[in-house]
Structure 1
Amino acid sequence: MKDLEFEQKRSLTRLEAADQLEQLAAALRHGGNAELELGPGKLTLRIPDELRSEIEVEVGDGQVELEVELKWPTAPAEG
């Protein structure tokens, strides 16, 4: 069972997509508690110093699909 799941699907212009990625990049650079504006609301996430990433590109059926996935544990690392 997931503690929280958020999914958003919508059409964006190229510039809107770039703005969204820049906002995410700024949150990743800053780390800690990052606030992301997603549509009508805001999502606050704790972003640690270490992340796991996966990038997937699929080309088929007349379209390109690019997925960027970032993962990290919900509990802060002990140390």
Structure 2
Amino acid sequence: MKDLKFEQKRSLSRLEAADQLMALAAALREGGEAELEVGPGKLSLRIPDDLRSEIEVEVGNGEIELEIEFKWPTAPTRTAPSQAVAGTQEAARRRKSVPAKPGRSSTATSRSKSTKRSTTKTP
């Protein structure tokens, strides 16, 4: 059973459809708590930084059906994947700026890493 389901079916002009998609795009771009005008009311959603998407196109019975679906968990996650990637990039940047230990040059470290890499590759 779904916790909540909202569905609305109505005819739109091409410009109304574009306005609806632009409002959704603006809410996605901003993230956080977003409000979308849907018919006579407003729909409030928490939109996280990362979400899953699915695009489906069906052609049949003289019609084209285009579905664009976004999914994300209802509960906020501890660390968003984009933040984890940024943290990994920051850690890599810090490692590069750390001075080499006395008696070891940075080129020797680089060579040993490349040697390890080349020995682990399989033909």
**Which interval holds the TM-score relative to the shorter structure?**
over 0.9
Residue 70 of structure 1: how far off its partner (Å)? 0.3
TM-score where L is the length of structure 1: 0.98
Q: Report runs of 4+ in structure 1 exceeding 4 Å deviation.
A: none
Tell me, what secondary structure is at the counterpart of 1:27? Answer: helix
Query: Which is higher, the Rg of structure 1 or of structure 2?
Result: 2
RMSD (Å), alpha carbons? 0.6
Q: Which has the higher strand share?
A: 1
Q: Is it true that 1:25 corresponds to 2:25 in the alignment? A: yes
Alpha-carbon separation, structure 2, partners of 1:65 and 1:43: 24
Instruction: Mark the runs of 5 or more structure 1 residues left unpaired by the alignment.
Output: none
Give the Cα–Cα distance (whole angstroms) in 1 for the partners of residues 65 and 5 of structure 2: 21
Aligned residues: 79
Ranked by relative contact order (alpha carbons within 8 Å, sequence separation 6 or more), the top structure is: 1
1:8-44 deviation digits (Å, cap 9, x = unpaired):
0000000000000000000000000000000000010
CA distance in 2, matches of 1:9, 1:32: 26
Q: In the alignment, residue 71 of structure 2 is paired with which amino acid?
A: K
